[in-house]
Structure 1
Amino acid sequence: MTSSNTQPAPVSPYLVLGSAIVLPASGHVILGVPVRGLQFLFFMVILAWVTAKIAPPDASFIGRHAGGFLIYALSILDAYKLARIRHAQWVHTATQGSDNSQSGITPHT
């Protein structure tokens, strides 16, 4: 008697990447970790404000808010990394399940 524990496929890492680029923290929301996304948004706003206060008046918009853009870039990378890890784990468990069923090996439960 074998039990097949098939989990649904995780969200596509490219969908998470695209949504994180378009709207900050949305990639984390899609992944189911909205608190992490809110933390990134909080630090994005705080560091953008701090660098706006420190930057010289003749700096460009991006230069004045460089801290916020840094956190924005890190949040995109973080959301994509989490999505890629979840997808790789799903592929690994799906592959392990098919290998065990073909070889006649049943996992211990």
Structure 2
Amino acid sequence: MAKSNNNNRNMSVEEAGKKGGEKVSEKYNQEHFEEIGQKGGEKTSEKYNQKHFEDIGQKGGETTSQKKDKEFYQEIGKKGGETTSEKHGEEFYEDIGQKGGNRSRGGRSNR
């Protein structure tokens, strides 16, 4: 265990990690973390193919569905719908409704 400056008591790994994380957070701004996150994402996408991401997405979805209930999915669906409606106007919904109707009719358009 790491020694703490607080009465020379031993610090847990969790406490040491938290303390280190707070120091790093104080040292760097939001932009720094966005930049390193972007770089990490780019490197990861170069390293792995699309099938890899499909596989881990599938596994994650299966794990989530085993752990979460119907109310969880209703709540995130509602939040997603609210966020979408805040970002898009009436025209957006008319357009996607038109596209859905056209697809249902087999691609025929009455426009």
Q: Greater Rg, structure 1 or structure 2? A: 2
Q: Normalising by structure 2, what TM-score?
A: 0.24
Higher relative CO (Cα under 8 Å, sequence separation at least 6) belongs to 1
